[in-house]
Structure formats: structure tokens, C-alpha cells
């Protein structure tokens, strides 16, 4: 009788040990503003990160590609502020251009990777 009870407990535990739920975070490029301070030109990319689940995100990393009319830039942002459940946050990624005559638009920006934990 004790053996049967023990096996039943193991089976129940095995069935309840599914993978932990994973948050769903959607990242979108919302805006690009370019500033030229006379020394260097910088593109400021506004990203919207939306946590669509009830699971908190404690940190995230976003990698993006920004193409201008002359060059392609790769930028990564890591942030430990996280994204609370069912919340949207905005982050700004800055990309300094090599040439102040370069320009880009929203079509030239792509989110290449998004990692969160």
C-alpha cells in the first residue's frame, strides 16, 4: 500500500512539473528623431516594449539595425529595469552616425533580436 501511494505522489509531481510560463513581449519601433549638434549626428530610436502576459520581465536586451543612406549601424540596449506584467514601456536607443550628412527613416530600422528574462 505504501508503494502505491509513493508512486501516485511521483506521478502527480511529474504531471505538475511543466515548463515555467514564458512572458510574451512585443517590441515595435515607434519613432526616429535625428539630432545634429554641429559635431556629430545621432539617431534616437523610440522603442515600445509591451508585456502581454501576467508574468513580470526582470531585464531585457534589444538589438537593432539602423540603415542610413550611407552606412548600416548595429546597436544593443540592455536594461535591468524590466517590464511589469501587462504593461507597456518606452525605451530610447541612440545611434551615433559617422557622417553628419547621413539620414534614415523608420523603414531603415529593424529589431534584430529581443531577449528577456
Residue 59 sits at the vertex; the CA angle it makes with 54 and 61, to the nearest 5 degrees, is 115
Decide if 116 contacts 83 (C-beta within 8 A).
Answer: yes
Residues with Cβ within 8 Å of residue 83, at least 6 apart in sequence: 23, 25, 49, 50, 51, 56, 57, 60, 89, 116
Decide if 113 contacts 61 (C-beta within 8 A).
Answer: yes
The pLDDT value recorded for residue 39 is 87
Domain 21-116 has CATH 2.60.40: yes
| Domain residue ranges of the chain, discontinuous segments joined by + | 21-116
pLDDT tens series, the chain, 117 aa: 444 444 444 444 445 555 678 899 999 999 999 999 888 899 999 999 999 999 999 999 999 999 999 999 999 999 998 999 999 999 999 999 999 999 999 999 999 999 999
Q: Tell whether the torsion through CA atoms of 94, 99, 103 and 108 is positive or negative.
A: negative
Amino acid at each position: 500500500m505504501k508503494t502505491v501511494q509513493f508512486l501516485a505522489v511521483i506521478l502527480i509531481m511529474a504531471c505538475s512539473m511543466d515548463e515555467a510560463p514564458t512572458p510574451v513581449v512585443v517590441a515595435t519601433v515607434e519613432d526616429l528623431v535625428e539630432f545634429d549638434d554641429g559635431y556629430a549626428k545621432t539617431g534616437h530610436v523610440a522603442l515600445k516594449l509591451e508585456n502581454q502576459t501576467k508574468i513580470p520581465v526582470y531585464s531585457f536586451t534589444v538589438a537593432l539595425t539602423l540603415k542610413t543612406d550611407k552606412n548600416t549601424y548595429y546597436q544593443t540596449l540592455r536594461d535591468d529595469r524590466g517590464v511589469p506584467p501587462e504593461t507597456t514601456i518606452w525605451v530610447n536607443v541612440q545611434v551615433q552616425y559617422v557622417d553628419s550628412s547621413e539620414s534614415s527613416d523608420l523603414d531603415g530600422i529593424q529589431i534584430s533580436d529581443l531577449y528577456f528574462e
